[in-house]
Amino acid sequence: MKRIKVILLICIGILLIVTAYFRMDQKFAAPSHGKIQVGYNVDDESAKINDQRDTLTRKKPFHVGVYYSKMAKKDTSAKIEIMDIKNQNVVFERRWQDTYGNTGKITKVNPKNWKAGNYRIQLYRKDKLVTSRVIKIK
């Protein structure tokens, strides 16, 4: 009988620790990742980029779509930054304020004066890096 009580107390203790850990993780963990899409055409109905690609040309403006895994629950700052990987120069930056219910944003980018090479697109929310993606400009 005493052995069953001890085992029961240990199981309850483990259950309490696991529950507390997951509740704290949900409250204080880093924001979950979003995704970045890049392409030339945007579908008007879904507001998604329907011709996603990793290689683009400098001759034609393209769209960068960022989509959050969770909608904004309050007003927060967000930013897209595009950086030349070779020399670490920021060639494009766009800041905005997310409001309640936002699940993403599409921005038009004109790479006319950029050099050919690889570029990293980074999405920041609340000044924290959420996700990034590498594209190639020809």
Taking the C-alpha atoms of residue 56 and residue 138, their distance in angstroms, rounded to an integer, is 6
pLDDT in tens, 35-62: 899 999 998 887 889 889 999 999 999 9
Annotated domain spans of the chain: 1-30, 31-137
Amino acid at 127: D
Residue 54 and residue 68 in contact, taking contact as beta carbons nearer than 8 Å = no
pLDDT band at 29 (very low <50, low <70, confident <90, very high): very low
Q: Is the pTM of this model over 0.75?
A: no
Reference 95, options 79, 107, 76; nearest CA is 79
Reference 29, options 37, 18, 40, 21; nearest CA is 21
The CATH number of domain 31-137, selected from 2.60.40.2550, 2.40.30.110, 3.30.565.10, 1.20.120.330: 2.60.40.2550
